[in-house]
Copies of this chain bind each other. A is one copy, B any other.
Amino acid sequence: VDENDRASTYSPPPEKETEMSTEPRTAPGGDGRGVRVHAQQARAAVPALGRADSTAIDHALQTMANRIERQQRALAAANDADVRAATEAGMQPALLDRLRLDEARLAAMSAQLRSLAEVPRLDAVVDRQEVGGGLWVEERRRPVGVIGANFEARPNVVVDVASQLLKSRNTGVLRTGSAAIGSATALLDHVIAPALVAADLPPDAIQLVRTPGHEAARDLVRHPDVLPLVILRGSGASTRELAELAARHGVRTLAHADGGAVIYVDASADLATALRLVEESVDRFGVCNRLNLLLVAAQRWDEWLPEILATLERLDIAASLPPHDHPLGYEWALDEARERTVTIAPNESAREAALTVNGTTSGLAACIVAEDPPAIDDFLDVCDATGTFVNATPRLLDGFKLFKVPETGINVDRVPGPRGPVTFRDLHLRQFVVRA
């Protein structure tokens, strides 16, 4: 869960009007190239990237880090122009902040690139066993090929996603929110493409859609033959719409349109632990894995509710108590005016709480606070959440926090494959190689 991804779901950014228009692909500021052309150019780079050894890939990542430092002036100029235009268009301060590439953010980007370059490559061969008759079968990881990625107007995500694609030997077509196109273009032209060339890799491996407008995002999820997989960062209505459009076209996405973490306080819980976890889970309100629904063991409801309410009051958080005038899983993070709200409800048992998680939420993240091992086992038996937490905050549902590598996104599909926090380590195809 990237902390910032949700921001743009609170209120439409200024680009929204542009996004809804039916402007031609050759809009001012664009280069007129459609997604299909980009995907074909990226595809031409697939074999070279697949062949690249780790030295070349990691050299490209390190060169990107160096160039971010050396090209600071050019990047700042492009970003200043984006920020100026967005300010004039009336962009909200929170979104403007995400658009800005200040020194600290550039330094963080460089540091993350250097750190990713240090991560060892996954073995191409996952498993090897004898078939019999002198034959061996290997399970292998292969790059997917070309992967699409859509994200909001945050220039640093250009480098974040590009680096993860390169680390997994995939090429990509990136599309950013329109307000960041100038900054994204500068990052492509001054950082990413030259770093690829310096590492003797094809600069076409990372493509940026330079045409503003939301229609480009829609175009990203309509070409299953050349872009079978698209990462949709962020959540909310825009992601939901793109995920549905992708599904209709047979394009797979890694995404979560909905979030909202659940904490269940079991009758066996240590109340102090429960109150600490509640507080740790509302350190931010706009993020998908914040506490949204607090379930309390019914037999402790009268005893514990006052202390829970006192804690929420101290944190300036409203409690929505039964009877609720909204669905139990209603996601407050998406309700700008009331995001500082937590729904509270009684549940009879750990099992009932897990069924509540499965039945009324997106299944992103859920936590049980309990000291009683059978209650914990019951919860784990039933709970389907992509991340399930035992006496730990669901705010930990994040690829970087759990695995120390950047996160591609979080996927909530209920099908086999990458689910929960997705990292570059997941961006591969399974292949079996049989050798005589």
What residues of chain A have their CB less than 8 Å away from a CB belonging to chain B?
A: 47, 50-51, 131, 135, 137, 142, 144-145, 228-229, 244, 247-250, 252, 351, 355, 380-382, 384-392, 396-397, 401-403, 413-421, 426-436
Q: Kindly list chain B residues whose C-beta atoms are within 8 Å of the C-beta of A419.
A: 429-431
The answer, among B131, B145, B416, for a CB contact under 8 Å with A427, is: B416
User: Are B392 and A435 closer than 8 Å at their CB atoms?
Assistant: yes
Seed contacts A47-B351, A144-B415, A416-B430; 12 additional CB < 8 Å A-B pairs: A47-B381, A137-B403, A142-B384, A144-B416, A228-B415, A247-B248, A389-B434, A392-B435, A415-B429, A417-B418, A418-B430, A420-B431
Question: Complex Cα distance A239/B289, Å?
Answer: 39
The answer, among B135, B247, B420, for a CB contact under 8 Å with A430, is: B420
Shortest C-beta distance, A354 to chain B (Å), equals 9
User: Are B435 and A229 closer than 8 Å at their CB atoms?
Assistant: no
User: Are A416 and B414 closer than 8 Å at their CB atoms?
Assistant: no
Residue of B nearest to A137 (CB): B402
Asked if A434 meets B250 with Cβ closer than 8 Å, knowing A144-B416, A414-B144, the reply is: no
Is the contact region of chain A dominated by helix, strand, or loop, or is it mixed? mixed
The 22 sampled A-B contact pairs (Cβ below 8 Å) are: A47-B351, A47-B381, A50-B381, A51-B381, A131-B396, A131-B402, A137-B402, A137-B403, A145-B384, A228-B415, A229-B415, A248-B250, A384-B429, A384-B431, A386-B430, A387-B431, A392-B434, A416-B430, A419-B431, A420-B430, A420-B432, A421-B432
The answer, among B401, B433, B436, for a CB contact under 8 Å with A380, is: B433
Shortest C-beta distance, A379 to chain B (Å), equals 10
Question: Complex Cα distance A385/B429, Å?
Answer: 10
Residue of B nearest to A422 (CB): B416
Residue of B nearest to A381 (CB): B51
Question: Complex Cα distance A273/B155, Å?
Answer: 55
Asked if A432 meets B402 with Cβ closer than 8 Å, knowing A229-B414, A416-B229, A418-B417, the reply is: yes
Residue of B nearest to A143 (CB): B384
User: Are A433 and B388 closer than 8 Å at their CB atoms?
Assistant: yes
Asked if A416 meets B420 with Cβ closer than 8 Å, knowing A131-B402, A391-B436, A402-B137, the reply is: no
User: Are A434 and B388 closer than 8 Å at their CB atoms?
Assistant: yes
